[in-house]
Amino acid sequence: MSNKYKANKSRGRHVYQYFSQKNQAPLKVESFLELCVAAQMECEPNIVAYAAQPESLHLHDSITNKTIRYTPDFLIKYANGTAAFIEVHHSSHITKDFQSRLALFNEYSLKTANVPIVLVDERQLTPMIYTNLQLIANRRSARLSCTLNHADLPELLTFEALVDWLKPRSQTSVGDAYHLVGAGFYQFDKSQLLLASTTLNKVMLS
């Protein structure tokens, strides 16, 4: 997945540059909210690659007889081979007209490429959540350095205790601990900064 779009400030938007370890390339996003979403995708194990502002979709408007264009914020590729466009939008700006326009392009994208457009807003992404996601994304191991069974993982402990538990089992205990948290094996209070003393709760398999 290549990022074909080069963002710049001449478009009147503030640009953030983000280095993606998952893509091994720098990405440019156009808002802090997009930066939060990028950090979340960086930690999501089911997403194998993603690109910012990947391509534009074009439709003919029969009412105005003009071509209308839409550029999604991200294109993501899942581990199962499927893909999705991501539109990042503040909830206060999600109007009926915007929803109608997005639905039109979603129908077109599904029909022509079988790729849906997924709308994401800010209501579950705060600056502290972003800080934690960025911390995990920057420090986690790309892959676990050892084989672990979910049933053997401790159920309730601090992050520091998880690192200590991993030391005799893992070549990179700190990175693997961040990997386990980022991959969703453990939950913690994301409204607080992830520290050595942070309590982790193992997520039980359904």
Per-residue model confidence as pLDDT tens digits over 162-190: 999 999 999 999 999 999 998 888 989 88
What's the average model confidence in pLDDT over 148-152?
Answer: 92
Q: pLDDT tens for residues 115-139? A: 999 999 988 777 888 889 889 988 9
pLDDT of 1 > 50? The answer is no
What's the average model confidence in pLDDT over 130-159?
Answer: 90
Task: Report yes or no: 28 and 144 within 8 Å, Cβ to Cβ.
Answer: no
Percent of the chain with pLDDT over 90: 54
Exposure string for 55-69, b = 16+ CB within 10 A, e = fewer? eebeeeeeeeeeeee
Taking alpha carbons only, the member of 148, 149, 151 closest to residue 169 is: 148
**Per-residue pLDDT, 11:** 45
CA distance between the termini of the chain: 33
**105 or 33, greater pLDDT:** 105
Task: Report yes or no: 44 and 78 within 8 Å, Cβ to Cβ.
Answer: no
Highest average pLDDT, of 9-18, 21-30, 83-92, comes from 83-92
Give the pLDDT band of residue 8 (cuts 50, 70, 90): very low
Cα–Cα distances (Å) from 112 to 23, 81, 173, 174, in that order, read 26, 17, 45, 44
Task: Report yes or no: 1 and 52 within 8 Å, Cβ to Cβ.
Answer: no
